[in-house]
Amino acid sequence: MWYFSEEEKALQELCRDFAINELAPKAEHHDNEESFNIEAFKKMGEIGLLGITADPAYGGSGLGATAATIVMEELGKACPASTLSYLAHSILCVNNIQNNASEEQKQKYLPKLISGEWIGCMGMSEADYGSDAVGIQTRAKLEGDQYKINGSKMWITNAQYSDIAYVYTRTGEEKKNLTTFILEKDKNQFEVGKPIHKMGMRASPTGELIFKNATVPLANRVGEEGDSVYHMMKNLEIERITIAGISLGVARACTEQSIKYAQERKQFGKEIGKFQLIQKMIAEMSTETDMMAHFLYGVAKEYDNGNKGPAIAAKVKLALPKMATKIALDAIQLHGGYGYSREFPVERLMRDNKLNEIGAGTNEVMIMIIAKDLLKDLKPKK
Ligand SMILES: Cc1cc2nc3c(=O)[nH]c(=O)nc-3n(C[C@H](O)[C@H](O)[C@H](O)COP(=O)(O)OP(=O)(O)OC[C@H]3O[C@@H](n4cnc5c(N)ncnc54)[C@H](O)[C@@H]3O)c2cc1C
């Protein structure tokens, strides 16, 4: 994009090379095996990606949403699942600690999370509370100067590999009385349940976090009791912008792969790219991908310039994953039987991308947020 800074352009190059060399060659293997590319993850620490938005004082890069979105797009083109794990670590865990934790907590947790020595996750969702996140039932009760935590979290990206979990709990009966903690695996502050087997994002580990009377010192509480809703809402915007970056990567990969295939595959004695119906598919895929990029990076830049808001983040989160799923389905169609097989990456990209219509808030929840903003002048029912 013309408005990327020199630093952002250099980051784009770095991530493009990393994705080609470290993620792409192993993406199919890890998808098939449902395994985590931990070597690549650790290398992300070595090349300075894991603390993309964190303060340089803790080893971070001190960059914004635009830079984080560039990373998601470039890595997402090669392996959306590894990128989802990267997002859970760098945006859901590290960025939350950066923005909400105390100085002592930042000094204790951020350097090891940013170097890649530790892996992090974020636990908001529960088995019975997904879209209704404010309804969560995992309880934290203060006893002296320690909390006892009981309950469980569901669908947690990186659960099986996490040393640190940034977790939301209930500390009172009032709906919004939710409190945040940073929990440590080594101190038995959480256990990990069974892995969850999925349709896509199979190279991103997903699991349960379980708390059985976990003893957690007051020092691990983030902010005050009741601060969680503020923490959640503040981080969701960058979460939604950056996850849309993975969908942009998917759309680009599918478009590029389709253009290549249309020039190689022959039927009726000529390249399928000579058929107008195929040309229409490619022209539309490319146009939609360009639209996605301009919308997404425009919103990311606005966010970095301080023009934030839940509705605009919800709009990119609604638009991009849906468009990328459509583009990926078209790419499968264009590849015919080969597209439906595991010989080409387009079916994996489609399966992976579908998650982006669900995680970080479903399409329906995005519609609710956007409509609430547009219709805010409607008077409440008497
Ligand atoms: C692979 C994967 C990774 C994830 N990673 C994490 C993670 O790291 N941390 C974390 O905390 N969570 C994570 N999640 C959880 C994710 O955020 C939730 O799945 C998501 O918020 C939806 O919640 P749910 O699955 O309980 O669906 P539900 O909330 O039960 O929704 C079911 C359906 O009802 C619709 N619906 C719900 N409420 C309304 C309404 N008011 N109006 C209209 N329709 C509605 C939904 O849109 C959906 O279609 C992950 C999920 C997956 C699948």
Q: Where are the beta strands (DSSP E) in the chain?
A: 120-123, 139-143, 146-157, 164-170, 178-184, 191-195, 206-217, 221-222, 266-267, 270-271
CA 234 / ligand 1 centre spacing (Å): 18
Q: Which of 96, 119, 142 is the last residue of a domain?
A: 119
Same domain flag for 260 and 355: yes
CA 124 / ligand 1 centre spacing (Å): 10
Q: How is residue 331 written in tokens?
A: 């790419």
CA 131 / ligand 1 centre spacing (Å): 5
Q: How is residue 228 written in tokens?
A: 């969680």
Same domain flag for 50 and 187: no
Same domain flag for 88 and 71: yes
Atom of ligand 1 nearest to the CA of 128: 26
Atom of ligand 1 nearest to the CA of 204: 1
Same domain flag for 145 and 103: no
Q: Which of 186, 205, 227 is the last residue of a domain?
A: 227
Decide whether any atom of ligand 1 lies within 6 Å of the 190 Cβ.
Answer: no
User: With bands split at pLDDT 50, 70 and 90, how would you rate the model's confidence at 245?
Assistant: very high
Residue 222: CATH number of its domain:
2.40.110.10
Q: How far apart are CA 195 and CA 159, in angstroms?
A: 8
pLDDT at 21 over 80: yes
Same domain flag for 139 and 103: no
Decide whether any atom of ligand 1 lies within 6 Å of the 165 Cβ.
Answer: no
Same domain flag for 207 and 234: no
Same domain flag for 220 and 128: yes
pLDDT reported for residue 190:
98
Atom of ligand 1 nearest to the CA of 133: 21
Q: Which of 227, 248, 268 is the last residue of a domain?
A: 227
The catalytic residue positions are 239
Atom of ligand 1 nearest to the CA of 158: 8
Decide whether any atom of ligand 1 lies within 6 Å of the 80 Cβ.
Answer: no
pLDDT reported for residue 379:
75
Average confidence (pLDDT) over 265-277: 98
Taking only the tens place, the pLDDT of each residue in 82-106 is 999 999 999 999 999 999 999 999 9
**Position 379 in a domain:** no
pLDDT at 303 over 70: yes
Q: How far apart are CA 135 and CA 196, in angstroms?
A: 23
Same domain flag for 39 and 156: no
Residue 353: CATH number of its domain:
1.20.140.10
Mean pLDDT, the chain, whole residue set: 97
Q: Domain of 353?
A: 229-374
pLDDT at 380 over 80: no
**Position 1 in a domain:** no
Q: How far apart are CA 271 and CA 377, in angstroms?
A: 56
CA 60 / ligand 1 centre spacing (Å): 30
Same domain flag for 267 and 219: no
pLDDT at 382 over 70: no
Decide whether any atom of ligand 1 lies within 6 Å of the 244 Cβ.
Answer: no
**Position 380 in a domain:** no
Same domain flag for 234 and 212: no
Best mutation site among 95, 362, 363 for ligand 1 pocket (most ligand atoms within 8 Å of CB): 362
Atom of ligand 1 nearest to the CA of 92: 8
CA 154 / ligand 1 centre spacing (Å): 10
Same domain flag for 57 and 144: no
Number of domains within the chain: 3
**Position 321 in a domain:** yes
SS3 call for 230: helix
- Backbone phi and psi for residue 170, each to the nearest 5 degrees, phi listed first: -100, 130
Task: Indicate which residue's Cα is closest to atom 7 of ligand 1.
Answer: 156
Q: Which residue has the tokens 């695996």?
A: 185
Taking only the tens place, the pLDDT of each residue in 118-173 is 999 999 999 999 999 999 999 999 999 999 999 999 999 999 999 999 999 999 99
Q: How is residue 14 written in tokens?
A: 């770095």
SS3 call for 174: coil
**Position 381 in a domain:** no
Residue 102: CATH number of its domain:
1.10.540.10
CA 214 / ligand 1 centre spacing (Å): 26
Q: What is the share, in percent, of the chain residues with pLDDT greater than 90?
A: 97
Decide whether any atom of ligand 1 lies within 6 Å of the 122 Cβ.
Answer: yes
Decide whether any atom of ligand 1 lies within 6 Å of the 131 Cβ.
Answer: yes
Tally of helices (H runs) and strands (E runs) in the chain = 12, 10
pLDDT reported for residue 106:
98
Q: How far apart are CA 109 and CA 130, in angstroms?
A: 27
Task: Indicate which residue's Cα is closest to atom 4 of ligand 1.
Answer: 155
Same domain flag for 267 and 186: no
pLDDT reported for residue 240:
98
Best mutation site among 89, 122, 131, 322 for ligand 1 pocket (most ligand atoms within 8 Å of CB): 131
**Position 45 in a domain:** yes
Residue type, 293: A
Q: How far apart are CA 152 and CA 209, in angstroms?
A: 5
SS3 call for 157: strand
pLDDT reported for residue 1:
85
Instruction: Judge whether 45 and 116 are in contact, CB under 8 Å.
Output: yes
**Position 269 in a domain:** yes
- Number of residues that make up the chain: 382
